[in-house]
Amino acid sequence: RRVGLLGCGRIGRLHAGLLADTPGFTVAGVADAVPEAARAVSASTGAPLMSIDEVLASPDVDTVAICTSTDTHVDLVVAAARAGKAIFCEKPLSLSLAEVDRALAAVEAAGVPFMVGFNRRFDPGHASVRDAVRKGEVGDLHVLRITSRDPAPPPPAYVAVSGGMFLDMVIHDFDMAGFIVASPVVEVYARGAVRVDPLIGQAGDIDTAVTMLVHEDGTLTTIDNSREAVYGFDQRIEAFGSGGVAVSDNPSRHAGWRRTAEATIGQPLPWFFLERYHESYRREWVAFHDYVVGGGDSPSGTDAVRSCTAIALAAGLSLREGRPVRVDEIG
């Protein structure tokens, strides 16, 4: 597959390197509004520099990877779908459910492969929880418990345009709830606080959140989030049911530790998202390749995107109004 890379910022550069290491993909063109960014990726991949329009029009490109800023995602998805390209798009697709629907409609009309970059689905630990649930190894699922804490908060300037903590960060966890629990979410209750950085509060957002999801079949999901865990990336999932429990715990930085008369002393957690999630990013592209080439359901397709966006918007409404919100209130 010949991939046109749209967007050469931090995440675009990451994907350029990953694509080069994934058998079956060649970067066939790179584009970015910032010429230096595009030039650097062009140099490291050997792929020609193009404009976005040239990528979309190029017969040498059959697949696009959309890594631009969030506000451009929908228009690019629509254009790429019309151009008949297979589409990989970074999350979130959009901060507006109407816009999400516009993009998904274009994808469905064109019948092109489409996958959104919910990379955590491909983390071996998280995937092992889903596998255990789907195989019945935890029996009937009763409670899903997710903890997701970033090592450091984003700059307040980013927060202001991020769509808020639920759409920007917790959306990964809403996706995990959908990925692991077969039954859809029907109700959301969220509480949040500004505990990490007052500037995040001044930017109109929260930095600490607890969310409760009620699924149609009665399964309960509880999620707690923070923008700053000083000890590193803290990402855990636990699926509890009638037959037992399946857990995705934190990996350690390395397996060295020591013990003295006072304490047993080990490492904190990995701090950098690439250190923590490198394997998930690598496997994400393998999954995308298998899907584009082999067909079948998208590893994280239109249903996942729409559902997560609606839950995130419901969480925001719940927080603002101080009440449980049904997902179908969102539309």
Cα-Cα end-to-end distance for the chain: 37
Stretch that binds a copy of itself, among 29-37, 160-168, 247-255, 292-300 (CB under 8 A): 247-255
Nearer residue to a copy of itself within complex by CB, 298 or 318: 318
**CB of residue 272 to a copy of itself, shortest distance in Å:** 14
Residues in the chain, how many?
A: 331
Is residue 226 a contact point for a copy of itself (CB under 8 A)? yes
Sheet containing strand 63-66, edge to edge, reads 26-31, 2-6, 63-66, 86-89, 114-116
Residue 284, interface with a copy of itself (CB under 8 A)? no
Q: Per CB under 8 A, does 269 bind a copy of itself?
A: yes
Min dist CB 218 to a copy of itself, Å, is 4
Asked if 257 touches a copy of itself (CB under 8 A), the answer is: yes
Could you say whether residue 20 binds a copy of itself (CB under 8 A)?
A: no
Stretch that binds a copy of itself, among 32-40, 51-59, 144-152, 160-168 (CB under 8 A): 144-152
Contacts with a copy of itself in 26-65 (CB under 8 A)? none
Q: With respect to a copy of itself, which residue has the nearer C-beta, 246 or 313? A: 246
Of positions 26, 70, 222, 307, contacts a copy of itself by CB under 8 A: 222
Contact between 138 and a copy of itself by CB under 8 A: the answer reads yes
User: Is beta strand 141-149 parallel, antiparallel or unpaired with respect to 234-241?
Assistant: antiparallel
Residues 164/316, Cβ–Cβ less than 8 Å: yes
Does the protein bind a copy of itself through residue 324 (CB under 8 A)?
Answer: yes
Which one, 73 or 121, has the nearer CB to a copy of itself?
A: 121
The residues with which 226 forms a beta bridge, in sequence order, are: 149, 208
Mind giving me the DSSP string for 144-187? EEEEEE-SSPPPHHHHHHTT-HIIIIIHHHHHHHHHH-SSPEEE
**Is residue 248 near a copy of itself by the rule CB under 8 A?**
yes
**Helix, strand or coil, per DSSP, at residue 301:** coil
Q: Using CB under 8 A, which residues numbered 185 to 214 contact a copy of itself?
A: 189, 191-196, 208-210, 212, 214
Question: Is residue 213 within 8 Å of 310, Cβ to Cβ?
Answer: no
Q: Does 326 bind a copy of itself (CB under 8 A)?
A: no
Q: Are 47 and 29 in contact (CB under 8 A)?
A: yes
CA separation for the pair 80, 63 (Å, rounded) = 9
